[in-house]
Amino acid sequence: MKVFFQSRLLFLMLLIVIWTASAHLASAAEIKIGNSLNELNVTNKTSIFIAYSDKITPNSILDKQDEFRPFGETNASGNISSAAYWIKMPLTNMSSREKDILIEIKKPHLSSVTLYREVAGKLIEEDTIGYSLPFDDRIIKHKNLLFPITLKKDGEQNYFLKIKTDTFFQAPIVLWDPISFSTDNYQTQTSNGIYYGIMIAMIIYNTFLFFSLKDKTYLYYILFVIGFTVMQLIWDGYAYQFLWGDYPWWALRSNSFFIIFTSLFALQFTKNFLQLKTAAMWLYKLTNWIIAVFCLFLLAPFIFAPSFATMVSTVVATIFVFFIIAVAISVRTQSREAKYYFVAWALLVLGVILNLLAAYKILPLNSVTLSAPKIGALVEVFILSLGLADKIKRISLEKEKESKKYYIQSMLHNSYKNMEAIEDTPALIETGLTVLKDVTKYEHALFLERESEGWSVSAHNGSSIQGEWTVEDEFLDNPHFITNIRNNPFGIQNDIHSLISIPVQASEKEGLFVVFNEKEGELQKFEANIITESFAVNFLHILTKMENYQELKVSAMFDHLTSLYNRKYFFEQITDLYQITASLNDHSALFLIDIDHFKNVNDTYGHMTGDKAIIFIANIIHTICRNNGIIGRYGGEEFIVFLPNTSDKKAKILANQLVQAVQNDAMEIDHGNSLPLTISVGISSSETNKSNLHQLILNADAALYQAKAQGRNQAVLYMEETKKPVR
């Protein structure tokens, strides 16, 4: 058994050696051309020598023929190098007449390709073409590199190609019969014309959409499609043929520029189309960083050599592909946009991956790997256009929705303004029913109110409504919108097609707004949601505001501890009063009153006793001054009194009465104990000092400081010579 397997293994190895040797011999053999030549791919029938030294000249290359190796064994395709690639093509004309053939190199953006013919042991230059030379210098004006040659009858002829490139080296070589080439070229031009026609049509179509919708997503998509289309034009050779054939410097750099350009705007489109800011914030931030880096990389073709710029663009394309995969994993199909996006990009990304794998020499460079991005792009453009069209439709629906939403909100907003002026609850409910009927265009509206004996209709708008009123608890929690009703809720005996109910629960009222339609209406769910959510919140707010109006008014006017005017309302009251008094040339006075040693009261007896002391003093001030002026709490333990039509003499007398009253009336605290209190009063008068209200307060404050400095428990009238002491 062991011998059997060994013999089989030896036989297999022998087959491999024979096959390899035969392949080597075949690849190195001459290329025979018969009468029936139409198209012949000779790439793998040629041999190649890579000259890394500039010393290798056309005259010396013949001495290196022993170092030429079969093209397929060198793995040269995909290299980026400054080397010169010498390719030998031994052609043999098997026919009995001269034969005109075309040598085509289907790699249009090689920097320079020189064709040599071996004659008597020397190389004769036939022609030199490539991206480093103007397009018009070519004998045959074609996007690919074409050399016309004539083979003598029954003869052998060696041809050499010297190729230099600043990008990836590729040399797919095809021999053509001129007539067959013309036929094939016509078909290729036609298919390419259809392809580029579709791409240009998509660009124009989406440009119109952009100007119509003003959505920057379309702008990014247009720039992406433009970039990708130009990139394909470069790869196919049409860009050099029709756009910049007279500018070799740019021609050598255009490919790397548009690879980066296309990747950049593809990312911009992805970010906006998929709304990454809301769908995946980390991807949104990462995208912005990558876009910023790509913007810098756009300068690479203008700064660096074409070979280095090509490597940069390859890295950019690789990053872009991996990023798209990351987006696919993170966002997946969470939205309609994402579904269109990933279906559209699936084949394109696959095509780009195949092309990149070929660039990295993992896959062979052939028609499939070269054309894969173009095929994927065509599918991608169609599907993304469908996605954008779907988005337009949804945008139109959204605009229609927004228009209806704005109309409803405007109606409700204006109604709320009118309702806020109503001060009667029944009138407010009647208005609410009218508003709901108008905005829903329903026929009937009623308000069910809970009373001690059950539910009853307290108000209605529309024709007479009969029923035995019941309300399930579920209707009291949230608003409801019901359509296609079979069992009428709430005991309504009318036929109902659709209905809206909105509960109202305020401090003094619990009820339910009900509007319904007997016919099929046009009210949509989103409209009903806007109405119910807005009305439920705003009506309750208006009702609560109205019920609490008086309480809020009192709370806004008075200090909660002393029931005196609070500081804000006090100044609102006295500002106009002071102006009126001054305009009549009457005198005004103002007191600032402070409880003496109040901190000691809080520290010794606690803040509860402190509050009681404030109330005690406030009551005394109110008793003595209420018929003479306006009283307010200035803040803390301080009070303020404005006395219109009061002379400084009268003000002094009244202030002394205050001081004496507080001194004579001790405050009771607990268990029969009492706490003596005193106050200091600062007086200012417009009779003594001609000033405005602000100055009157400052003068009273200065007089209060004076009273404190003089020992407290006294009233001091501000005079010009009064100096404010430091405590």
Go through the domains of the chain in sequence order and give each one's CATH number: 31-176 (2.60.40.2380), 192-394 (1.20.1070), 422-547 (3.30.450.40), 553-717 (3.30.70.270)
Length in residues, the chain: 727
Is the C-alpha dihedral spanning 312, 313, 319, 323 positive or negative?
positive
Whether pLDDT at 711 is above 80 = yes
* 3 state SS of 169: coil
Q: 116-120, 270-274, 520-524 — which one is most confidently predicted on average?
A: 116-120
Whether pLDDT at 28 is above 60 = no
Distance CA 172, CA 174 (A): 7
What does DSSP assign to residue 666? Answer: P
Whether pLDDT at 283 is above 80 = yes
Find tokens 């009969």 and name the residue: 466
Distance CA 605, CA 675 (A): 10
Q: For the chain, give percent helix, strand, coil, nearest 5.
A: 55, 20, 25
How far is the CA of 637 from the CAs of 440, 610, 676, in angstroms? 57, 9, 16
Whether pLDDT at 115 is above 90 = yes
In tens, the pLDDT along 664-685 reads 988 888 777 889 999 999 999 8
Least confident of 180-194, 466-480, 596-610, 636-650: 466-480
Dihedral angle, C-alpha 206, 210, 213, 215, nearest 10 ° = 110
The tokens of 73 are what? 């064994």
Distance CA 307, CA 304 (A): 8
In tens, the pLDDT along 352-385 reads 778 777 766 677 766 677 677 777 777 777 777 7
pLDDT at position 518, please?
A: 81
The tokens of 208 are what? 């119109």
Whether pLDDT at 563 is above 70 = yes
Rg (CA), the chain: 48
Q: Is residue 212 very low, low, confident or very high in pLDDT (cuts 50, 70, 90)?
A: confident
Average pLDDT, the chain: 84
Where does 106-155 show beta strands of DSSP type E?
112-119, 122-129, 145-151
Task: Tell me the mean pLDDT in the region 382-402.
Answer: 76
Least confident of 483-487, 531-535, 637-641: 483-487
Query: Which is higher by pLDDT, 521 or 163?
Result: 163
* 3 state SS of 636: coil
Q: Is residue 1 very low, low, confident or very high in pLDDT (cuts 50, 70, 90)?
A: very low
* 3 state SS of 678: coil
* Whether the predicted model's global pTM rises above the 0.75 cut: no
Task: Tell me the mean pLDDT in the region 519-527.
Answer: 80
Q: Is residue 167 very low, low, confident or very high in pLDDT (cuts 50, 70, 90)?
A: confident
Whether pLDDT at 299 is above 80 = yes
Whether pLDDT at 334 is above 80 = no
